Chain A
Amino acid sequence: MKSSTLRQLAPVSAFYVLVLATPTLLSYDYYYLSILTMAGIIAIIVMGLNLLLGFAGQISLGHAALFGISAYTTAVMTATYGFPLAVGMLSGVGLTAVVALVVGMPVLKLKGYYLAMATLGFGLIVYIFFNEAIALTGGPSGFVGIPQLHFGGFTFDSELSYFFLVWTTVTVVLLISLNLIHSRIGRALMALHASDKAAQSMGINVARYKLFIFVLSAIFAGIAGVLYAHYLSFVAPSSFGFHFSVQLITMVVLGGMASLWGGIAGTVFLTAMPEFLRAYENMEVIIYGLILILCMMYLPQGMAGGVSKLVALVRRRLGRA
């Protein structure tokens, strides 16, 4: 048992060392760091979505909306009503969890395409709400003046401090996600994905586990939402639309379903790529689509699967030589 914990802790520690070294490796280029900070925020959502989609096999096209609910909640609580940051952030995450609970209960009874459509519908409703509830959200032009994060005497006002804050959160979320999947709960999730019937006949309350993982993934999206709002100090509905939900799914699929590590890699890749493809801005959607199709055709296990295939290939080559 200790050895399995170690086998899990070692790569996560190595990952965190890489996080700590990254600013130096990028010679403190704030432009690159800001891209990575955004990627980290999104990676937190993607990890939750990976637990939901990759492990439990339940799709959601509503995670952009959940992310947005959290971002707007903390924005309104702190900027409009002047609540302390901690209260704003907790309400952001809390409300997201409650919304996921209420939406998840009826919606998770659906399967496959129907679940996709229902979560899509939820996402659209929330998106319309962000646009129309102008008094609360500022409408299409967005919500400005969200306060910067500070804890105790420390203000996260530099690119570097926020980078560390976000990627430390990524590491913690990664660790608890890994813990979860290597537990009876993770096994129950994979089981209900593989065979709903067999899972039930092992005494697994399938509906409850689906709801649990949906809410947990919403909490992750909620954490990302508050980090996002206080990072940019500005939010607008366009960040939380259908398009972003599709991007999130693409990141999970590209990284590799049921691979948390792959998900992080997929997120960093897909977040950084458009920055380098700025010249082709209008092509972004097409490029996402292409990646998704190519991935399905040639890398059904995503980047994670691709890497393990590559490793196996190299091993075989080396073995032969």
Chain B
Amino acid sequence: MPERSGVDKDVILSCQAVHVRFGGVMALTDVDFDVREGTITALIGPNGAGKTTLLNVVSGMVTSTEGAVHLLGQDMTRSPAWKRAQAGAVRTFQNLEVFTTMNVLENVMTGVHRVVRYGALSALFKTPAFFQGERRCRELAEEKLAFVGLKGDWNLPAGELPYGRQRLLELARALAAQPRILLLDEPAAGLNTAETRTLAGLIRRVRDELGITVAIVEHDMDLIMGVSDAITVLHFGKVIASGTPAEIQKNPEVVAAYLGEEAE
């Protein structure tokens, strides 16, 4: 494996020369993407640029054709998705993936899966470990629901929540897993302006209060410019720029490729 030596200890996620091909489509070409611990790092780009694909490569839902993914200090290029989550890289989805048949609280308690553990025998025969574990699990879930501000009936089937609340629920579920890095795929999609503003505050609190690194894919420029410490821009599967929000806003190539599109 061609190590790019001197991978910073601060770098919690590092994608190196990632290529992804879907049949004839090159979804990603030679993509480098780093996320430093403690930051909110954004991945932006027009529709179809390959943002979700890169997040899939990071979370293990798509294996890259070439390249490497270093996550949380390990080479996880070939690790299955669940192992990456176990290691502390937890994601949300652009097209909601809440557990619709389970209620709101159960959804978030499922997020706690990697945090609070007890075995099958404890579950089948309700040993003290079960009771302890369930109590802890419920506490953590309730704490995260409160954190994202999801009020109302937590016994409701999650599928019956309105769209915006399902987004919050997904966020609470991911937070319940106590990730070291949280990967968000267009968390503001389908939200109105007020909801988006709340979300921006929430994402900052995730970093500042919970100390979780955030990698965010987003379309909403105001949100991105407001919350991110660093931005990487994808265009037709290639990185065309990386830098601070101020640098990105001034980059002529980015303006042409992406920002210009919005200004029209």
- Residue in B85, B112, B117, B130 whose beta carbon sits within 8 Å of that of A201 in the complex: B85
B181 at interface, CB cutoff 8 A: no
Residue from the list B80, B101, B126, B130 in contact with A194, Cβ < 8 A: B101
Contact of A203 with B85 in the complex, beta carbons under 8 Å: yes
B contact residues around A187 at 8 Å (CB) = 102, 106, 109-110, 113
In the docked arrangement, what's the CA distance between A195 and B135, Å? Answer: 25
- A202–B90 touching, CB < 8 Å: yes
Bitwise interface map of B from 80 to 106 toward A, beta carbon under 8 Å scored 1, else 0: 111001100011010001111110001
Distance, CA A5 to CA B127, complexed state (A): 12
The answer, among A195, A197, A204, A212, for a CB contact under 8 Å with B113, is A204
CA distance A249 to B125 in the complex (A): 27
Nearest CB of chain B from residue A172's CB, rounded to whole Å: 11
Kindly provide the distance from the CB of A104 to the nearest chain B CB, expressed in whole angstroms: 15
A182 shortest CB reach to chain B, Å: 8
Whether the Cβ atoms of A179 and B113 lie closer than 8 Å is no
Q: Nearest CB to that of B90 among chain A residues?
A: A201
A126–B81 Cα gap in the complex (Å)?
Answer: 35
Tell me, rounded to whole Å, the shortest Cβ–Cβ distance linking B217 to chain A: 14
Let me know if B125 and A200 touch, CB within 8 A. Answer: no
B137 close to chain A: CB less than 8 A: yes
> Is B124 part of the contact surface with A, judged by Cβ < 8 Å?
yes
Q: CA–CA, A293 to B33, complex, Å? A: 53
B124 touches A180 (CB 8 A): yes
Are A200 and B113 in touch, CB under 8 angstroms? no
Interface positions, chain A 181-202, Cβ under 8 Å from B, are 183-188, 190-191, 193-195, 197-202
For A179, give its contact among B59, B124, B173 (CB under 8 Å).
B124
Q: Is the CB of B61 within 8 A of A203?
A: no
Q: Does B114 contact A (CB under 8 A)?
A: yes
Task: Let me know if B116 is at the binding interface, CB within 8 A.
Answer: yes
Pairwise interchain contact B99-A194, C-beta atoms closer than 8 A? yes
- The count of chain A contact residues (Cβ–Cβ below 8 Å) is 28
- Report chain A residues within 8 Å CB of B101: 190, 193-194, 258
Min CB–CB distance B221 → chain A (angstroms): 27
**Contact between chains at A198 and B82 (CB < 8 Å):** no
- Residues of chain B contacted by A183 (CB below 8 angstroms): 118, 122-123, 130, 134
Flag whether B163 is at the interface (Cβ < 8 A): no
Complex Cα distance, B135 from A5, in Å, reads: 12
CA distance A188 to B116 in the complex (A): 13
Residue A205, interface by CB 8 Å: yes
Q: Is B256 an interface residue (CB 8 A)?
A: no
Within 8 A of A (CB), among B173-192: 173-174, 177
B residues in contact with A103, CB < 8 Å: none
Chain B's nearest CB lies how many Å from the CB of A287? 30
Interface residues in A244-266 (C-beta closer than 8 Å to B):
258
Docked CA distance A205–B102 (Å):
19
Looking at the assembled complex, report how far the CB atom of B18 sits from the nearest CB atom of chain A, in whole angstroms. Answer: 19
Q: CB of B120 within 8 A of chain A?
A: yes
Complex: A195 Cα to B173 Cα, angstroms? 13
Looking at the assembled complex, report how far the CB atom of A179 sits from the nearest CB atom of chain B, in whole angstroms.
5
Known: A5-B126, A179-B126, A203-B85. A184 touches B133 (CB 8 A): yes
Q: Is B237 an interface residue (CB 8 A)?
A: no
Q: How far is the CA of A76 from the CA of B173 in the complex (A)?
A: 51
Q: Does A135 sit within 8 A of B, measured CB to CB?
A: no
A-B contact pairs, 28 of them (CB 8 A): A1-B131, A176-B124, A179-B126, A180-B124, A183-B118, A183-B130, A184-B137, A187-B110, A187-B113, A188-B110, A188-B113, A193-B101, A194-B102, A195-B97, A195-B99, A197-B61, A197-B93, A199-B82, A199-B99, A199-B110, A201-B81, A201-B91, A202-B111, A202-B114, A203-B82, A204-B85, A204-B113, A205-B82
- Residues of chain B whose beta carbon lies under 8 Å from any beta carbon of chain A: 59-61, 80-82, 85-86, 90-91, 93, 97-102, 106, 109-114, 116-118, 120, 122-126, 130-131, 133-135, 137-138, 173-174, 177
The 6 closest A-B pairs by CB, nearest first: A183-B123, A203-B114, A203-B85, A198-B97, A194-B99, A200-B81
